[in-house]
Amino acid sequence: MVSLPPVHRIPVQVPLFTVPTAFFMSDPPTANAQYQLCCPKLPLAVYREIAAHLRQVTGVEVGLLPQRSANFDYAQSQVGGILIRYTAEADAGSQQRIEQILAYYANRYGDWEAVQQGK
């Protein structure tokens, strides 16, 4: 029988917050506060994955925004962005977890931007 050496895990540091702080000013978040964010090149499947992760956070509701561009572009996301809404059950821990999840994806796909209304 072959014995394998022990596995050494190296902790990975993910930046805590790559979303502009203007998106999450209340501490703890207030009920019904909502934010619309986008990552222009993020694929539809990844938006759905992010939404699934965010829905697991207590006090958070999530939805996907439709793409508003009149012209199809393969390099552009099929989704207009993600809507994050805090409910009355949200607390500072919920906010921190949301920030960690968004930072994880921003680290891999690019920074989040505010969705401009009417755009």
What does the domain layout of the chain look like in residue ranges?
Answer: 28-114
Order the strands of the 79-86 sheet from edge to edge.
60-66, 79-86, 34-38, 113-114
Q: What pLDDT does residue 53 have?
A: 96
Over residues 57-67, the pLDDT tens digits come to 999 999 999 88
| CA dist., res. 14 & res. 103, Å (int) | 7
Q: What pLDDT does residue 24 have?
A: 52
Amino acid at 20: P
* Class of the domain covering 28-114: alpha beta
Q: Is the pTM of this model over 0.75?
A: no
> Alpha carbon of 28 to those of 43, 63, 68, 94: distances in Å?
31, 21, 32, 9
| CA dist., res. 22 & res. 44, Å (int) | 25
Residues of the chain with pLDDT under 70: 1-29, 72-77, 117-119
